[in-house]
């Protein structure tokens, strides 16, 4: 058969294709039999989404071919039991697409495993240690993976992880082969510095690893949104909500999932923390309930010099809420204490929050805030502990405006515990600085500054009817098909003139099993779109 035929059964006269193992936008992976050595292998067939690419854009097709060859060379440079072994490459030269012949890992992928439910913290920590070993080997060879995610972690039959798909790996000093402006990596797992256009370094791969472990134990992705654009914006601008099921893995997630790469510990420290987490009893984090649970017992680890360095770095870097949970991750390890009331479901009696669809939610909010959802409260009348209320939103906006001296916003995201705002630079309709407001600590400037995407307009928050938010939350609880929400938040987005999209506010709900939905409304609270979670 000719190489270009899609029904070809034998590749290079040697590798007989038997069954399809999986595939994506850039090709298909097959289970095949090596007719020469009489063993089974995995064969990656590279095919672009557009099969006619080589005809109308031969330059792009050749770029793709070179990128695949680079994957093969990158893999060949990394010799490690936790990195997939490449056996052979079939390259027909210019105008063709290569085939990669690799070892067959027969235990499925981590993505397959997570479809059966979340992992226990100790189990996830052991898996994370194996992936970290693979990343360390790659980094020592000058290779950054850049796409660590569950689908790219294969599992041997004994459960050991194998890192694969180095197709977008960046080799030090190599010429970039990707088109300007293209997204390199999966948005859900990309580190903020890579989203913002920087090449990143080993610390960016550590972020992706930690985010993967967060998903593995929590059962949902904390920054995944309804669109790729919204997800990228969340990774770039929003902080990672504190994990609630991570147990002994919490310190690792807390110190790695910070937006400033300089604030993350090095790989050696992460490896030791994973070892501690893996040694804990095989238990899961707390299940979601409507009342506080006792906090998990944190691990205790003798102090080391590099952990103290990581702690000092963390004090200088902008911390995510997960870091606020432990005050300092290293402090958790050294002292063995945890400020539990900062966790969702903690013991702060003034901050009892139920899911928006739960019975009595409106009354609970009224008792907590001392206000009716139909009454416009004074933004400074009392201390606000739940910011996802009319009073809470007004309090945060007023504090941010007072701190910055500005009243024009690029966008706003409101969680019960904190509010994130892109505040427009004076005299500019495109440049903004990011700020975060929390009760008790006030307004803090984030490390992120940027520009609105082409066509986006700033938001005039004075036009928004915040008293409509409780009703939107209640309706979301009824129509979004998220029965036991573990996360809820409000997003305010400006108009996008490029596509004539008006400004709006959206309410998002998600649960512990990756089920999420959202509804959009006008600034006055009229619902215009409902996207429920899948059944």
Catalytic residues: 147
CA distance 205 to 140: 13
* 3 state DSSP class of 74: helix
**8 Å CB contact between 199 and 170:** yes
Strand partners, 527: 521
Whose tokens are 């093969």? That residue is: 72
Strand partners, 433: 423, 449
Q: For residue 141, what are its two tokens? A: 């060879």
CA distance 429 to 443: 22
Helices (H), 24-151: 53-56, 58-77, 110-114, 121-140
Side-chain half-sphere CA neighbours of 93 within 13 A: 0
CA angle 102/52/149 to nearest 5° reads 40
CA distance 394 to 389: 9
Pairing of strands 39-46, 170-171: unpaired
Q: For residue 77, what are its two tokens? A: 């440079």
Q: How many CB atoms lie within 10 A of CB 229?
A: 13
Task: Considering only the C-alpha atoms of the chain, give the largest distance between any 2 of them, rounded to a whole number of Å.
Answer: 80
Stated as kind and residue range, the H or E segment containing 467 is none
**8 Å CB contact between 509 and 516:** yes
Integer Rg of the chain from CA = 25
The DSSP symbol for 83 reads B
CA distance 315 to 181: 34
Q: For residue 471, what are its two tokens? A: 């009703």
* 3 state DSSP class of 233: helix
Q: For residue 297, what are its two tokens? A: 């017992």
Q: What is the dihedral of CA 369, 370, 373, 375, to 10 degrees?
A: -130
């Amino acid at each position: 058969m000719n190489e270009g035929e899609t029904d070809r059964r034998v590749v290079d006269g040697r590798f007989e294709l038997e069954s399809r193992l999986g595939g994506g936008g850039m090709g298909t992976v097959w289970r095949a039999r090596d007719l020469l050595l009489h063993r089974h292998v995995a064969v990656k067939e590279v095919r672009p989404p557009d099969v006619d690419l080589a005809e109308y854009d031969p330059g792009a097709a050749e770029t793709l071919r070179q990128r695949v060859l680079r994957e093969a060379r990158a893999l060949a440079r990394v010799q490690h039991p936790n990195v997939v072994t490449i056996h052979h490459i079939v390259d027909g030269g210019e105008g063709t697409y290569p085939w990669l012949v690799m070892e067959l890992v027969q235990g499925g992928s981590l993505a397959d495993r997570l479809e059966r439910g979340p992992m226990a913290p100790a189990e996830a920590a052991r898996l994370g240690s194996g992936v970290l070993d693979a990343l360390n080997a790659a980094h020592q060879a000058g290779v950054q993976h850049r796409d660590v995610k569950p689908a790219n972690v294969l599992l041997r039959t004994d459960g050991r992880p194998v890192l694969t798909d180095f197709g977008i790996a960046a080799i030090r000093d190599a010429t970039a082969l990707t088109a300007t402006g293209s997204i390199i990596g999966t948005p859900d797992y990309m580190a903020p510095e890579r989203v913002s256009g920087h090449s990143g370094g080993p610390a960016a791969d550590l972020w992706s690893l930690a985010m993967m472990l967060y998903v593995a134990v929590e059962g949902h992705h904390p920054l995944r949104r309804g669109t790729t654009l919204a997800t990228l914006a969340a990774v770039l601008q929003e902080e990672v909500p504190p994990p609630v099921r991570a147990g002994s893995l919490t310190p690792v997630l807390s110190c790695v999932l910070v937006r400033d790469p300089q604030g993350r510990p090095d790989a050696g420290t992460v490896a030791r923390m994973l070892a501690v987490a893996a040694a804990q009893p095989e238990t899961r984090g707390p299940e979601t309930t409507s009342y506080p649970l006792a906090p998990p017992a944190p691990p205790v680890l003798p102090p080391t010099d590099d952990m103290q360095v990581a702690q000092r770095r963390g004090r200088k870097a902008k911390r995510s809420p997960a870091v606020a949970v432990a005050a300092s991750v290293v402090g958790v390890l050294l002292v063995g204490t945890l400020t539990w009331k900062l966790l969702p479901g903690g013991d702060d009696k003034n901050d009892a929050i139920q899911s928006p669809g739960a019975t009595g939610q409106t009354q609970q909010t009224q008792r907590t805030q001392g206000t009716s959802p139909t009454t416009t409260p004074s933004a400074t009348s009392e201390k606000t502990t739940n910011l996802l209320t009319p009073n809470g939103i007004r309090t945060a906006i007023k504090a941010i405006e007072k701190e910055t001296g500005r009243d024009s916003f690029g966008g706003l995201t409101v969680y019960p515990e904190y509010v994130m705002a892109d505040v427009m630079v004076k005299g500019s309709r495109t440049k903004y600085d990011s700020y975060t407001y929390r009760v008790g600590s006030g307004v803090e400037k984030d490390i992120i500054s940027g520009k609105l995407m082409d066509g986006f307009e700033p938001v005039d928050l004075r036009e928004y009817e915040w008293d409509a938010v409780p009703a939107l939350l209640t309706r979301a609880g009824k129509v979004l098909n998220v029965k036991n929400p573990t996360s809820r938040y409000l997003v305010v987005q400006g108009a996008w003139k490029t596509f004539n999209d008006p400004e709006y506010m959206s309410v998002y709900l998600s649960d512990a099993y990756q089920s999420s939905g959202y509804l959009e409304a006008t600034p006055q609270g009229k619902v215009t779109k409902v996207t429920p979670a899948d059944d």
